[in-house]
Amino acid sequence: MKLKLAVLPGDGIGPEIMEQGVAVMRAVCEKFGHDLACEYAICGADAIDKVGDPFPEATFKTCMEADAVLFASVGDPKFDNDPTAKVRPEQGLLAMRKKLGLFANIRPVETFDCLVHKSPLKTELVKGADFICIRELTGGMYFGEKYQDDEKAYDTNFYTRHEIERILRVGYDYARKRHHHLTVVDKANVLASSRLWRKVAQEIAPQYPDVTTDYMYVDNAAMRMIQEPRFFDVIVTENTFGDILTDEGSCITGSMGLLPSASTGEHTPVFEPIHGSWPQAKGLNIANPLAQILSCAMLFEYFDLKEEGKLIREAVRASLDANVRTPEIQVDGGAKYGTKEVGAWIVDYIKKR
């Protein structure tokens, strides 16, 4: 298979973890006989510094011409600490989602037995937790009409039937591939937009009789995720709720550095780790590359290259079991491994299989 990637390292630790992700991609493609071509492009604070735009037209063109986008992170303190800044790195991420029509964000939450002690939750609650959050990505308050002055402000939580239906069908498709259980999360007792979500969901549910559908208010879902994470299989929800719940879900595993994600929709899909740019760690060789590497597994699986994705997941688990880990998840007294060393170990594992 010929695979053309747009590679967007971005800011902070992005270039460091991306280097390991691309190395893993190349190792897998070499083993399975795929032809991989990578074209690098700028985004985020790096792009603002260079061309004044966090998602320049040249980067958009590179993404549109690729089969998939491998993305790392955006963000820089010089923008975070300047509330007057009119152009911000995160605007590039929103622009990428909008221009590529990426309406579905897929975030798996999977625990690793050797790391359950790192979770803030009790082992008996966390062990075996394995679910997916599917977040609508281009609607809701993040993209609705906004206003702000010194006395008042508002953000409009706007949704159409079409937007709700298409993300629900993504959720049902994933539920059918997993354990046939879908939880629709809303706030239908208070919000009109949520009542439309629930109405559309109730109309669609009978078309998927093999999937058990339940409905949960977002506050209850947040509580249930902590009390009983194994209850969930596939969660589908709107943009703002999804942003909050997916970050909450990431804590279950004990480290945000372990979780990948995919964003899919009308054009080129994007695969990325869920963590941020962690600028304080830039250049220190301490950032965990596993979420970036697992994003590569999701990329292969998106193209139905299941054995390739399986090998990456096997290599990641093997590295954890062998205590080849970056500092934030290393066991007491364990050997010191940095970003580069963990990536090299996994590449070596893949080549030897």
243 is catalytic: yes
302 is catalytic: no
Instruction: For residue 203, give both structure tokens.
Output: 């109309």
247 is catalytic: yes
Find the catalytic residue in 159, 172, 243, 337: 243
Give dist(CA 315, CA 294) in Å, integer: 10
Find the catalytic residue in 219, 306, 310, 336: 219
Find the catalytic residue in 11, 159, 187, 233: 187
142 is catalytic: yes
Active site members: 142, 187, 219, 243, 247
